[in-house]
């Protein structure tokens, strides 16, 4: 059974190299590469060590099924029910509004 993971994405988000993750989890950096490519299934002990260093639950990092791709479409929530009113964004202060006119 193949175990899928999000190691490469999680490392990239944190700016970690394979060597960085390997050092923290006490494995060889090549093991991290094997895990990321799906060429090696980790022991339960290693799964827990990896999840602890990311401070994430196991199911957020590992799965018996492929993870869905995180594309722009997957991240879009339900569109607003009504179009936004034209005008300055809500974050614009009243002072800024007066500078640009009505």
Q: How confident is the model at residue 73 (pLDDT cuts 50, 70, 90)?
A: low
Q: What is the pTM of this model?
A: 0.66
pLDDT at 30 (0 to 100): 98
pLDDT at 38 (0 to 100): 94
Mean pLDDT for 22-31 is 97
What is the per-residue DSSP string for the chain?
---EE-HHHHHHHHT--HHHHHHHHTS-HHHHHHHHTTS-PPPHHHHHHHHHHHT--HHHHEESSPPPP--HHHH--PPPSSPPPSSS-TTS-HHHHHHH--
pLDDT at 70 (0 to 100): 72
Is the pLDDT higher at 71 or at 50?
A: 50
């Amino acid at each position: 059974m193949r175990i899928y993971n999000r190691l490469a994405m999680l490392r990239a988000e944190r700016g970690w190299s394979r060597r960085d993750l390997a050092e923290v989890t006490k494995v060889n950096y090549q093991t991290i590469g094997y895990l990321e490519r799906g060429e090696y299934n980790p022991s339960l002990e290693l799964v827990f060590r990896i999840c602890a260093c990311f401070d994430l639950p196991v199911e957020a990092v590992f799965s018996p099924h492929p993870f869905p791709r995180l594309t722009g479409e997957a991240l879009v929530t339900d569109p607003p029910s009504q179009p936004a009113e034209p005008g300055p964004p809500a974050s614009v202060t009243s002072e800024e509004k007066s500078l640009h006119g009505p």
